[in-house]
Amino acid sequence: MREDICSIPINDIFQPKEGCPFCRMRDMLEDRIATYITGAAMMEPDVREETNRLGFCETHFNHILARGSRLSVALILESLIAETSKEVFPEGKVPAKKIVEAVKRRQHDCFICENVEKNMRHLFDSMVKLWESEEEFRQIYAEQEFICLTHYGMAIEYAQKMHRKNFPIFAAQTAKLAKNQLAGLGDDVTHFCRMFDYRSKGADWGNSKDAIERSIEYFTSRKPEIQQKADEKNR
């Protein structure tokens, strides 16, 4: 895949200060890769070879469906179907174990997941360099709204390569952004639950109306697809 597709300036990712910066990083990468493979790279044999080999997970099948034309998705599927058929219904005597492995691999692998992960590491390395060298960027990092649970783990994992004297400062800052959000969500969810008590009739919802959606986003790094009104009784 062309390298420049995933080169994103770190400052562009960290400027907005809304939501988790690493979710924004992932969203940009997903968008660029899904747009690229259903557009400019449609006829590039090396990209097709990789999409045939890895396939897509549910999330990323949805992404290519949202970004590509129906014909481009069908062309990707055509060769993916042929390749999958050879693997999971091979000719001759093949041990059942091998078939199960092939199916499991098909269910687990994804072209976009793999490329996002690889490029997150590159971008993360650039971010660490920036954080270690520029006081101004440290400030921008500290001013992020929050860091979600998934990316809190990722940030701590990737940052271990940092200079030994810098790592504890970075880890503490990152933990603060993730921990404060979790604490705030805890308060908002408690307030939400109290609003269902008859004694709260007419009370202010405060920030609690979308506490469920924001909590799910914190845990999964993605906004939930189902949207309901704050006090909707769906059961």
SS3 content of the chain, % helix, strand, coil (to 5): 70, 0, 30
By CB under 5 A, residue 151 contacts Zn ion:
yes
214 sits near Zn ion (criterion: CB under 5 A): no
**Closest to Zn ion by CB, 62 or 228:** 62
Q: Which of 113, 169, 189, 212 binds Zn ion (CB under 5 A)?
A: 113
Q: How far is the CB of 18 from Zn ion (least distance, A)?
A: 12
Kindly determine how many residues on this chain lie close enough to bind Zn ion according to the rule CB under 5 A.
11
Q: Is residue 36 within 8 Å of residue 1, measured between CB atoms?
A: yes
Single out the residue of 1, 8, 42, 57 in contact with Zn ion (rule: CB under 5 A).
57
CA 229 – CA 99 distance, rounded (Å): 46
Q: 56 near 111, Cβ under 8 Å?
A: yes
Our CB check for Zn ion shows the closer of 140 and 148 to be: 148
Which one of residues 6, 10, 13, 23 is an interface residue with Zn ion (CB under 5 A)? 23
DSSP state of 164: T
Taking the complex as a whole, the smallest distance from the CB of residue 153 to Zn ion amounts, in Å, to: 10
Contact 25, 120 (CB under 8 A): yes
96 Cβ contact list (under 8 Å, min separation 6): none
Question: Does 149 help bind Zn ion (rule: CB under 5 A)?
Answer: no
* Sites for Zn ion among residues 61-90 (CB under 5 A): none
Residue 156 is a binding residue for Zn ion (CB under 5 A) = no
- Residues engaged in binding Zn ion (CB under 5 A): 20, 22-23, 57, 60, 110, 112-113, 148, 151, 221
